[in-house]
Structure 1
Amino acid sequence: MTTEPRSGRPRASSREVLSEAACELFLEQGYDATSVSDITRRAGVSRSSFFNYFSAKSDVLWSGFDEQADAGIALLRDGTPVADALSAIGRGLAPDALALAITNADAMGIAAELDRDRAVRQFRLQREVASRLAHDGAAPLAAQVRAGALSAAVLAAVWAWADRTAAGRSLADTLAEALSAA
């Protein structure tokens, strides 16, 4: 076993540095005008390092949410009650690049991109929740409708929370309210 230090940035640090650099550039010059090369140059990492963490430029904004959604989906698949699994998404998500992008969507020129990516993630959650509800005995149509409402509630809560972060309301509280309304 070697005791030599590894070169390069630590994994978590590089992801955070890339995310911060991307947000700075999106605010400075807009989303469309910012390339992956611009982001890696600002972050001081190689282009290949970028793709170790993200598959596309938009994933920089969604990585925190995606990690929490993956964890929530794993809970669903393991038998955790649907509301508990979806609530877990909110407990683990911290203010990050996504919250910054939501509150600065117009300045970043990213509103349409956020809407598109939001729909993709909402449908992914809907598919998983519907599968779970059907497995638990719900009729297929009822499972799809309920899953659509619940997955929409998750994303609506994230948007509402990002807009209210300064007011101090937690995502967990906002998500609980949204899930209750669904």
Structure 2
Amino acid sequence: MKMEPRAGRPRASSRETLAEAACELFLEQGYEATSVADITQRAGVSRSSFFNYFSSKSDVLWTGLDERIEQAVAALSGMGTDATGEAVRDTLLHIVRDFAPDPLALALRNAVAMGLQEELVTDTGIRHARLAAAIAAAATSSGIDVIRADILGAAQAAAVLSSLRVWAEHGAGQGSPEAVLRESYAAIHDLPWGT
């Protein structure tokens, strides 16, 4: 059943309206059954408006986090030989700091209802690989051997993404992903930055 755009709904921005419409539809009919045309019709905007903000329907979920990861990757690459474990962890904390409930948090919490389990595994893997590579590069720049750097990168990237998932699954309004990430650092204490 196709629903008409809601009259009188305040439109904060087309981007937010599109994200809200997409999440509603993912919950109602599932991710796979929802097309970009469905989203734009629900939001009351054109298809070209959708592609002004998102390159695909999965981007609706990931855009906010991707911007934060991009900033972290730039900060990590700028550290050079001065990279330390503390500086890297601080940079990673910025990814989750003040992370408000958004379409990704909703999707993580409602993955089964939205039919997103496989999509989230794939998309999380892409973000994990990107972040892990940037952390590993910072580690090798500071003089850590490649294997240890790869392990550090994989563990710390997993901690970031896992903290967001756990926070969302427990209810995004409870606690903060930053607190969950700080707790996860204790779980990887056997992988100290130095030798």
**TM-score if structure 1 supplies the norm length?**
0.89
Paired residue for 2:63?
Answer: 63
Paired residue for 2:35?
Answer: 35
Paired residue for 1:13?
Answer: 13
Q: Give distance in 2, aligned partners of 1:168 and 1:109.
A: 24
1:181 aligns with 2:187: yes
Paired residue for 2:103?
Answer: 97
Deviations 1:103-124 (A, max 9, x none): 1111111111011100110011
1:71 shift after superposition: 1.7
1:132 aligns with 2:138: yes
RMSD: 1.6
Structure 2 residue identity aligned to 1:13: S
1:166 shift after superposition: 5.4
3-state SS in 2 of match to 1:31 = coil
Q: What is the count of residue pairs matched by the alignment?
A: 172
Q: Which piece of structure 1 moves more, 147-156 or 65-74?
A: 65-74
Query: Is the 2:167–2:174 contact (alpha carbons within 8 Å) kept by the matching residues of 1?
Result: no
Paired residue for 1:113?
Answer: 119
1:77 shift after superposition: 2.2
Q: Give distance in 2, aligned partners of 1:178 and 1:140.
A: 23
Q: Give distance in 1, aligned partners of 2:62 and 2:18.
A: 13
Structure 2 residue identity aligned to 1:90: V
**TM-score if structure 2 supplies the norm length?**
0.84
Query: Is the 1:161–1:171 contact (alpha carbons within 8 Å) kept by the matching residues of 2?
Result: yes
3-state SS in 1 of match to 2:14 = helix
Deviations 1:77-113 (A, max 9, x none): 2327110110100114211001111111111111110
Q: Which piece of structure 1 moves more, 35-44 or 161-170?
A: 161-170
Q: Give distance in 2, aligned partners of 1:92 and 1:19.
A: 19
1:74 shift after superposition: 2.0
More helix, by proportion:
1
Query: Is the 1:68–1:93 contact (alpha carbons within 8 Å) kept by the matching residues of 2?
Result: no
Percent pairwise identity: 51
Structure 2 residue identity aligned to 1:134: T
Query: Is the 1:64–1:93 contact (alpha carbons within 8 Å) kept by the matching residues of 2?
Result: no
Q: Which runs of 5+ in 1 are unaligned?
A: 1-11
1:167 shift after superposition: 6.5
Paired residue for 1:44?
Answer: 44
Structure 1 residue identity aligned to 2:17: V
1:48 shift after superposition: 1.1
Distance 1:152-1:26 versus aligned 2 partners, 3 A rule: same
1:46 shift after superposition: 1.1
Q: Give distance in 2, aligned partners of 1:180 and 1:69.
A: 22
Runs of 4+ in structure 1 over 6 Å off: none
Q: Which runs of 5+ in 2 are unaligned?
A: 1-11, 189-195
Query: Is the 1:68–1:92 contact (alpha carbons within 8 Å) kept by the matching residues of 2?
Result: no
